[in-house]
Amino acid sequence: MHNYRRAALPALISFALVGCAGMAPTQNMPPNVAKAVQPVDVNVGIKQPELYAAFEVSAAGQAAAAGCGAIPGIGILLAAACGGVAGAMDASINASRAKAADETIRPLKDQIVDMQFDQMMNNAVAGALQNVPGMSVTSVVVTKTVEDKAYEETFRASKSNGVMFVNVDYHLTKDFSTLEVSARGLLYPRSVSARTSAGLPTDLPPAPQPALALQNTAYRANVFYHVKLPVKAAEPGAYIAAWQADNAVLLRNGLENGTAEVARLLSEDIQRAPEVKVAVLTKAEAAPGITADVIAERDGGKLFRYADGSVHFHTTASATVPVATTAAAPAGTAAQ
């Protein structure tokens, strides 16, 4: 559902994907593991420097490249060259689309240049996780270096029992009608006692073998905040104008509430033990073509749990929506 995002976005979520084939994208912690990984260092990765807009990623070159290999008698080298040209075509198209999207939202970015998103997210994550019962957070640090090598070095240098990485993204959807803020949380046992509790080998794999392979996580979560404009527009300019109105109050509120909500969702989710089932209020359409479980209704929106375990809060933009409050501990907390 996110194939239209910015071409550079995979860099935000590439780490810790080694050996992930067949693994569920989300996983909760048993209480004994949650206790063993304390205290925890938290690293918030925000690679992007500013708001961006998604766009439809071109796949025309991929289809053309596949066609190259199917042409009888073309030869391996010529087929490879043909595929390379097709790939370059995709890159050129995507660069052009990214530039066009950026130019469209440039007025919005200029309007909110005074907002310190990185600091907002750091404060929100720190506040939310430090309020989780039984969770001991040694530090919360924002990093702009979101890549495997840097994360590996951070993990290996840590002195805490556990290290949590929270990768954050925020952008407007390709039609400019919706702001999305998301976070991918991964917690890794670091010490011998924590790794033993999680059923992992006591020693870290020697470098250059990756210590942050996905199977080494004790906890995995994907949380999303979607805030949609209350108007239906026929062309992009009308959506941009709606976001710009009154000193971009809707966009500012969306970013403030988005940071608070994803931090809140993480803090709620990390407390839930695997055996605790989330009550389902009903099923509803969360997005076009996607039906999911509604697990809560609050603050003028609905909280959905998708089939892959990810949690999505959907709401409508408002100039008066209050900032999400700190999460309350749900039944069956994992961190005791």
State the average pLDDT over residues 78-107.
72
For residue 215, the Cα-to-chain-centroid distance in whole angstroms is 19
Give the 3-state secondary structure of residue 139. strand
Instruction: Provide the β-strand partners of residue 164.
Output: 42, 187
Instruction: Provide the β-strand partners of residue 171.
Output: 52, 180
**CA–CA separation, 257 vs 181, rounded Å?**
9
Q: Among 65-69, 157-161, 240-244, 250-254, name the one with the lowest average pLDDT.
A: 65-69
Confidence tier at 43 by pLDDT (50, 70, 90): very high
The identity of residue 172, as a single letter, is L
Name 145's Cβ contacts closer than 8 Å, sequence gap at least 6: 45, 47
Which pLDDT tens digit goes with each residue over 196-246?
Answer: 999 999 999 998 889 999 999 999 999 999 999 999 988 989 999 999 999
Q: Taking a C-beta distance cutoff of 8 angstroms, is the pair 263, 275 a contact?
A: no
Confidence tier at 21 by pLDDT (50, 70, 90): low
Q: In angstroms, what CA-CA distances link 77 with 62, 74, 84, 305?
A: 17, 8, 11, 48
Query: Which DSSP category does 216 fall into?
Result: G
**CA–CA separation, 163 vs 126, rounded Å?**
14
**CA–CA separation, 302 vs 33, rounded Å?**
31
More confident residue, 49 or 86: 49
Q: Answer yes or no: CATH 1.10.510 is held by domain 27-49+116-316.
A: no
Confidence tier at 90 by pLDDT (50, 70, 90): low
**pLDDT number for residue 68:** 46
Q: In angstroms, what CA-CA distances link 293 with 184, 255, 318?
A: 20, 25, 24
pLDDT over 90, % of the chain:
67
- Extract the tokens encoding 47: 């690679």
Q: What is 259-323 written as a DSSP string?
A: HHHHHHHHHHHTTB-TTPPPP--EEEEEETTEEEEEEEEETTEEEEE-TTS-EEEEEE--SSPPP
248, pLDDT greater than 60:
yes
Name 167's Cβ contacts closer than 8 Å, sequence gap at least 6: 12, 13, 15, 45, 46, 146, 183, 184
**pLDDT number for residue 137:** 96
Q: Among 18-22, 53-57, 271-275, name the one with the lowest average pLDDT.
A: 18-22
**pLDDT number for residue 17:** 40
31, pLDDT greater than 90:
yes
Q: Taking a C-beta distance cutoff of 8 angstroms, is the pair 236, 176 a contact?
A: yes
